[in-house]
């Protein structure tokens, strides 16, 4: 195996031959690429992540200067530069703040190994020179809060890979994002591959942390020059993982630096990297998103058929909410055709059928984080027509409550003879509606019959001005609102309600007789409401 120093020496010796064939700018760029790939330390500039790095540094800097610590949540698929961006910003800030009076320190915790709340607290306290291995979780919290209250250094705690925290300790990890609210000397940064923890934070915390999403690399962010555009496009189409592009570039540069065969070297390296049968069985990123969308829709509908329009709209919506690159309509059809060629999907007129079971399709995707992100996205706007069985169930249930609506109309004989010339189907109504027969064949009067029954009412009740509005809003009449009642009225007898100016307001049924009303207290109900003039406003569309 050739050592790194010998390979660097070999590359420098080969650069003299390259000078004879290529321009100086191309040679300088290629040397810089190889040098940057061979370095393992944190670089000062991250290509393609300038906006995310600038936003992260701005939030941390403002929190330190204004004594308002930052609570930040970083999410993105693996290989998008989340951890490297955080380390770059922290290294730059620590070096800068050590030159001034303000002193800043950082604590990095990988939750893949420290996956319980006790392990995380112990790691933070040990980093602060406090030995707390033998303390319980409750005492650790007490000691941790005491340390924070006394500490005069601004500490930035980084929780990486918080997806690996045990489920029973996730609530405690969510509460850690409230530390910047409680204390002025601690900021917290959470790094995760999915948005699942962010959904938990929305339900647990009142003040949410700042969200920074690292989208997958595309061919534009993976390529810097046309010489490696093939590498960038191939890697972006398959995984979108920048580390894989760096691996391909490193292997290509180590094979040949003579010049003309650079594209061939990249193509050969790609074939060796993705040429194994296991890797060939995997599908590209966009096809993974489409297949995961089909699984989501098929899981919601408990079937294997997915409508084409629903698939396209759901795919666009998922890409927009998860900040994933979306294809155009023509490109989507090509991606679906690739899935058809692999016997995963089958197109049937205006729908697609999933030919494999959902478990096998999930194994083909081989990306649990992508599946979990797509499954937690809410698709509340999605609607579908009722099936025949569902519609029959709904209308059967409604039939128990809805009557036949056989209305009774009052009119003159002359108007009735004219209406007899019109067929029943186009005839909506004529005359004055007195009421309708219910499903149980009971007759219920409408407020439109008030003008006909009020002049001939046997039992009447007059209400006070303070009770008029309550009755006109559909409420019963209380003893406190009654002024007087017809003498000799019995209970459960039809009664017309008047105001003090003898204007009929509606009708109802007496709850008590006249004699009982005299002995009743002020809060007793004396008239049960049936209809009032307020229905002309409340039920204007239903009255005929």
Mean of pLDDT values over 57-62: 88
In a domain, 395, yes or no: no
Residue pLDDT, tens place only, 151-195: 777 888 899 988 888 888 888 888 888 888 888 888 899 999 887
For residues 259 and 180, membership in a common domain is answered with no
Residue 498 has a pLDDT of 95
Q: Are 109 and 158 in contact (CB under 8 A)?
A: yes
Of 187, 213, 239, which closes a domain?
A: 213
Q: Are residues 181 and 269 in the same domain?
A: no
Is 69 a domain residue? Answer: yes
Question: Per residue in 332-374, pLDDT tens?
Answer: 888 888 888 777 888 888 888 888 888 888 888 888 888 888 8
Residues 470 and 517 in one domain: yes
Total domains present in the chain: 5
The answer to whether position 399 is within a domain reads: no
377: phi then psi, degrees, rounded to nearest 5: -70, 130
Residue 382, pLDDT score: 55
CATH number at residue 478: 2.30.130.10
Domain boundary among 190, 213, 236: 213
pLDDT at 296 over 50: yes
Identify whether 392 is part of a domain: no
120 and 15 fall within a common domain: no
Same structural domain, 224 and 355 = no
Q: Same domain for 34 and 108?
A: no
Structure tokens given for 420? 């007899």
pLDDT for res 190? 92
In a domain, 147, yes or no: yes
Domain that holds residue 264: 4-42+217-280
User: Does 182 share its domain with 321?
Assistant: no
Domain membership of residue 544 (yes or no) is: no
Would you put residue 405 in left (φ > 0), alpha (ψ -120 to 50) or beta? Answer: left
Q: What is the CATH number of the domain that holds 61?
A: 3.40.50.300
Q: How far apart are CA 37 and CA 253, in angstroms?
A: 10
Residues 431, 420: contact at Cβ < 8 Å?
no
Average pLDDT over the chain reads 76
- Round to whole Å and give the CA distance between 230 and 219: 9
Both tokens of 511, joined, read 């709850």
Is residue 14 domain-shared with residue 161, that is, in the same domain?
no
Higher pLDDT, 51 or 404: 51
Please report which residue ranges of 66-195 form alpha helices under DSSP H: 82-97, 117-127, 137-150, 170-176, 179-182
Q: Are residues 66 and 139 in the same domain?
A: yes
Q: What are phi and psi of 55, to 5 degrees?
A: -65, -40
Query: Could you tell me the two tokens for 198?
Result: 């962010």
Whole-number pLDDT of residue 364:
82
**Mean pLDDT in residue range 515-524:** 90
Residue 215 makes CB contacts below 8 A (sequence gap 6+) with: 76, 80, 323, 324, 325
Q: Give tens-digit pLDDT for 64-85.
A: 888 888 899 998 888 888 998 9
Spatial separation of the C-alpha atoms in residues 130 and 148, rounded to whole Å: 12
Judge whether 390 lies within some domain: no
Residue 394 lies in a domain: no
**Nearest by Cα to 169 from 123, 117, 125, 118:** 117
CATH at residue 355? 1.10.10.10
Secondary-structure percent of the chain, ordered helix, strand, coil, rounded to 5: 50, 15, 35
* Residue bearing tokens 């009755």: 471
| Residue bearing the bigger pLDDT, 127 or 392 | 392
| pLDDT of the residue at 130 | 54
- For 20-38, how does the pLDDT look when each residue is reduced to its tens digit (9 = 90+)? 333 333 333 344 433 433 3
368-376 helix and 196-204 helix, angle to the nearest 10 degrees? 40
End-to-end alpha-carbon separation of the chain, Å? 95
> Are residue 222 and residue 86 in the same domain, yes or no?
no
pLDDT above 70 covers a percentage of the chain that reads 75
Considering 280, 296, 318, which residue would you say is the last residue of a domain? 280
- Indicate if 87 and 126 belong to the same structural domain: yes
Same domain, 33 and 177: no
């Amino acid at each position: 195996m050739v050592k790194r120093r010998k390979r660097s020496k070999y590359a420098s010796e080969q650069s003299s031959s390259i000078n004879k064939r290529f321009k100086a700018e191309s040679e300088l760029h290629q040397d810089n690429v190889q040098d940057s790939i061979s370095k393992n330390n944190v670089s000062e500039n991250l290509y393609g992540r300038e906006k995310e790095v600038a936003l992260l540094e701005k939030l941390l800097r403002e929190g330190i200067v204004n004594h308002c610590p930052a609570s930040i949540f970083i999410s993105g698929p693996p290989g998008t530069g989340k951890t490297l961006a955080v380390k770059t910003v922290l290294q730059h800030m620590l070096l800068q703040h050590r030159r001034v009076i303000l002193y800043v320190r950082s604590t990095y915790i990988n939750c893949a190994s420290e996956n319980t709340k006790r392990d995380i607290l112990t790691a933070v306290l040990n980093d602060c020179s406090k030995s707390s291995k033998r303390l319980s979780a409750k005492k650790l919290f007490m000691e941790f809060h005491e340390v924070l209250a006394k500490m005069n250094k601004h500490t930035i705690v980084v929780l990486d890979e918080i997806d690996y925290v045990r489920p029973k300790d996730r609530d405690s990890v969510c509460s850690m994002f409230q530390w910047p609210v409680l204390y002025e000397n601690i900021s917290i940064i959470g790094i995760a591959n999915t948005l699942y923890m962010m959904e938990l934070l929305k339900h647990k915390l009142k003040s949410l942390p700042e969200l920074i999403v690292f989208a997958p690399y595309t061919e534009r962010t993976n390529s810097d020059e046309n010489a490696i555009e093939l590498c960038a496009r191939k890697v972006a189409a398959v995984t979108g993982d920048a580390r894989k592009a760096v691996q391909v570039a490193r292997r290509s540069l180590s094979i040949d630096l003579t010049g003309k065969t650079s594209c061939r070297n990249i193509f050969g390296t790609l074939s060796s990297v993705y040429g194994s049968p296991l890797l060939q069985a995997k599908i590209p990123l966009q096809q993974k998103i489409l297949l995961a969308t089909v699984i989501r829709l098929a899981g919601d509908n408990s079937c294997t058929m997915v409508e084409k329009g629903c698939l396209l709209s759901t795919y666009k919506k998922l890409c927009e909410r998860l900040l994933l690159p979306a294809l155009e309509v023509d490109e989507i059809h090509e991606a679906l055709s690739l899935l058809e060629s692999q016997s995963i999907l089958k197109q049937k007129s205006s729908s697609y059928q999933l030919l494999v079971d959902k478990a096998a399709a999930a194994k083909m995707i081989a990306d649990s984080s992508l599946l979990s992100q797509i499954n937690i996205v809410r698709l509340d706007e999605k609607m579908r027509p009722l099936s025949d069985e569902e519609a029959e169930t709904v209308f059967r249930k409604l039939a128990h409550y809805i009557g036949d609506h056989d209305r009774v109309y009052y009119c003159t004989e002359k108007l009735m003879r004219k209406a007899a010339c019109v067929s029943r189907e186009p005839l909506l109504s004529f005359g004055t509606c007195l009421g309708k027969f219910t499903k149980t064949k009971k007759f219920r009067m409408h407020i439109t019959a008030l003008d006909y029954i009020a002049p001939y009412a046997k039992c009447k009740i007059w209400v006070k001005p303070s009770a008029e509005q309550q009755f006109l809003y559909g409420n019963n009449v209380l003893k406190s609102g009654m002024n007087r009642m017809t003498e000799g009225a019995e209970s459960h007898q039809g009664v017309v309600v008047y105001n003090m100016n003898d204007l009929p307001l509606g009708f109802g049924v007496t709850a008590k007789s006249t004699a009982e009303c005299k002995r009743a207290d002020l809060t007793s109900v004396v008239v049960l409401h049936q209809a009032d003039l307020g229905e002309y406003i409340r039920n204007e569309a239903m009255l005929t």
